[in-house]
Amino acid sequence: MQLKVVFLGTSSAMPSSKRSLSSVAVVRGSEVLVFDTGEGMQRNFLESGIGTNRKMKILITHMHSDHVIGLLGLLQTMALQNRDIPVQLYGPDLLRDFMESNMKLLNFGLTFPLTFSTVNEGIVVEEKDYVVKAKLAEHSVKSYCYCLEERERPGMFYPEKAQKLGIPKGGLWHKLQHGEQIEYNGRIIKSEEVTGPKRRGRKIGISGDTRVNDGLADFFRDCDLLIFDSTYGEDHKDKAAENMHSTAKEAAELAAKAGVKKLVLTHFSTRYDDAAVLVKEASEVHPNVVAAEDLMVIEIPYEQ
């Protein structure tokens, strides 16, 4: 199952000539999960080639304009393209009022069902192969961090074990490979009898806007990829605290504490024309740091 992250907006508060406002798409197989929809993100969404008529969930971290204004345009564009697949929308309780009021004022309808779920801490999305969890952030308004966590996969399949049990190759093997139990010759055979130990799924963390704290370090524990608020460098760490954001170095300290494999800095203040200085500060703390760029793609492979 392919799992990749596409960055659709990486600036904070104001866009720049190179950066749209906050938005990240996680593409998992045939599904896309969009986290935040800042102004300008839909142009990058279209340019990325992700596609507007596939299974989609949209999750909003908080009700600040640089994280939500692009939602109206994205939905309207999909309607103009005659999308007919439902969209599931998740976010703070004010998001429903925002959508209903603006759709009424702008007088536009949708060609697809739109469902809304209010986010609270804990599991907000539960699918067969993964869950999305939410954790309250530390920001100036109610804001949530998210983690997409895949469930454990069945262990490595051993054909010789299946052959020893006399199970014919084909559909029964397929079921066992995918963790299902079967009945053969009057006997129930569990997947574990012909597979190795279960393998961990992948985990992606997305902070939204927040200060760092120990609770978030626990929430993001062992992420394969963590995308974290890095609005400021150490030259403006007082402003970061005042505005309830984080510095790149603080993000790296949290990532190191949480055992994160790869840290992606994002949500940059426009005062930083080049994010290299932020990467340098963070790299002094964490060994695997990159700065997000609009339309950058990161693949997350399975653990070997």
Burial tier of 137 (Cβ tally within 10 Å: 0-12, 13-18, 19+): buried
User: CB of 111 within 8 A of CB of 86?
Assistant: no
238 part of the active site: no
Let me know if 116 is exposed, middle or buried by CB neighbors in 10 A (0-12, 13-18, 19+): middle
Burial class (CB in 10 A: 0-12, 13-18, 19+), 112: middle
Q: Which one of the listed residues 66, 209, 224, 294 is annotated catalytic?
A: 66
Q: In what order do the strands lie in the sheet with 87-91?
A: 114-118, 87-91, 55-59, 31-35, 23-28, 3-9, 297-299
Question: Which residues are identified as catalytic?
Answer: 66
